[in-house]
Amino acid sequence: MAAIRKILIADDEPLFGTTTARFLETRGFSVTFVETGEAALEVLAKQEVDLIIADLDMPGNRNLELLNRCRRGHPDVPFIVVTGRPTLPSAIEGIRLGIHDYFLKPLELDDLLHSVQRAIPADGTQPNTTQQFSEILGESPAVQHLHAQAARVARSHATVLIRGESGTGKELLARGIHEASSRRRGPFITVDCGSIPETLIESILFGHARGAFTGATQDRPGLVSMAHGGSLFLDEIGELPLAMQAKLLRVLQFGSFTSVGSLQETKVDVRVIAATHRDLASEVSRGTFRLDLFYRLSVLEIVSPPLRDRIEDVPLLANHMLKSIAIRDQLPQHRLAPAAEDLLKQHHWPGNIRELQNVIERCACLALASELSAEDVRQAIDWVAPKRTTPTVETEHSSFLDESERQYFRQLLQKWRGNVSQAAKEAQMSRQGLHKALSRLQIDPSSFRTN
């Protein structure tokens, strides 16, 4: 038989405190209610609790004193914040300190109950917040900081935005946050927002009702519904069309949405983890990303560091990749010569871990000896990331192609007044592919828009 879970409520509004305590007690919890931060600390000095629910705007916690003391003295106890006077700095600081959830008054007690049940499961188990990030290899200060920050984030229920360049392992980080969270028994659903055609993305995300469009012969749930009780990872969220951004905002604000062709609202319990390599603040200024969604996402940000900022990790990563390749191919493992390691550490790695993986893969496949030499590494780097610093026939040809592409895309954007979706359709490219080409050619589509 599971032990009764103990909850401490600290709030200077007696009506809220007593009502919430009675509500949770009828659901099988043992609840202690106090009206100040000092009284809460006295309770914690005398007995252990499994969860703390506390108001921000009350004596003894107006400057997060109670939260700070609890994080230092009781770091493993989940902490839920409730407040009638929210501020962005308090929300950011609270999440930085590892709160489990953040509620605004007035709140639905059923929503609070769901949060409590996620924070302290009936079996009393707590997630291991160190093992889940072991796949993010590295011993550099940047990686150690990332591990610590991700572990704190995992204890919260808040929406997460992971920023970082392409190839830095944002999805691996998102999966680690899910696995270290109280939602780890729920599904982890991944959506690549840049790879789904704009005409299909609403149905794929939110599902559709029978008869919603030609070919819709039955009701079908979307990926948001499939993530119920777990985490929804939205990769490259900057590619999400504006109309879908509005629907996603409703999911974040109210936990509800309507499927395509349906009038009935669907409730969903899902944590959103988003990722982008874009500067969303700049996208907001261009009008391609909603300001309210940006604020909702940016309360809690994690930056996945580029490989050049953790260059001391490169030999460790390279040897791990060589080991994985040897196991996969059932061949002896190659080793790196000291000069090869030095060369790997000298490279800038614009493609980050993905580029390193390609270089090591090529070395392992083509090397004639068991030890990879500096020349093996140099040739692989040149092949994967060809240099354009020396003016040769090839680079002159590339420059000509770039200028031709630039002129073609400028004409397209001029024709469609900066509408990337229409330009991509005429060019028979994906929207994401066109964005990448425009970025490479340093073309800003917003400059072609007219009022």
Are 264 and 233 part of one and the same domain?
yes
Q: Are strands 256-258 and 265-267 parallel, antiparallel or unpaired?
A: antiparallel
3-class DSSP state of 129? coil
Range of 439's domain?
396-448
Number of domains in the chain: 4
Are 284 and 165 part of one and the same domain?
yes
Are 162 and 258 part of one and the same domain?
yes
Q: CATH no. for residue 111?
A: 3.40.50.2300
Residue 158: inside a domain: yes
Domain final position from 358, 384, 410: 384
Are 179 and 285 part of one and the same domain?
yes
Distance CA 359, CA 318 (A): 9
Residue 389: inside a domain: no
Residue 128: inside a domain: no
Domain final position from 286, 303, 320: 303
Residue 135: inside a domain: no
Are 371 and 286 part of one and the same domain?
no
Are 278 and 154 part of one and the same domain?
yes
Residue 126: inside a domain: no
Q: How does pLDDT run along the chain (451 residues), one tens digit per residue? A: 457 889 999 998 998 899 999 999 988 899 999 999 999 999 999 999 999 999 887 888 877 788 888 877 887 788 888 887 766 556 656 655 667 777 777 788 877 887 787 777 655 455 444 455 767 888 899 999 998 888 888 888 889 999 999 889 998 899 899 988 888 888 888 888 887 777 788 888 898 888 877 777 777 888 888 888 889 999 999 999 998 999 999 898 888 898 888 888 889 899 999 999 988 888 888 888 999 899 888 778 899 999 999 999 999 999 999 988 888 788 889 999 999 999 999 999 988 998 999 999 999 888 889 999 999 999 999 887 654 444 444 344 344 445 656 777 888 888 888 888 888 877 767 676 777 778 777 888 888 876 5
Domain final position from 384, 416, 437: 384
- Cα 60 → chain centroid: 34
3-class DSSP state of 267? strand
Show the tokens assigned to 68. 């700070």
| Residue 34 bridge partners (DSSP) | 10
Q: CATH no. for residue 215?
A: 3.40.50.300
pTM, 2 dp? 0.58
Q: What is the dihedral of CA 285, 291, 295, 298, to 10 degrees?
A: -50
Q: How many other C-beta atoms are found inside a 10 Å radius of the C-beta of residue 372?
A: 25
Are 268 and 170 part of one and the same domain?
yes
98 phi, psi to nearest 5 deg:
90, 35
Are 324 and 218 part of one and the same domain?
no
Which of 389, 391, 328, 335 lies closest to 363 in space, CA to CA?
335
Residues 6+ apart with CB under 8 A from 261: 208, 209, 210, 211, 212, 213, 216
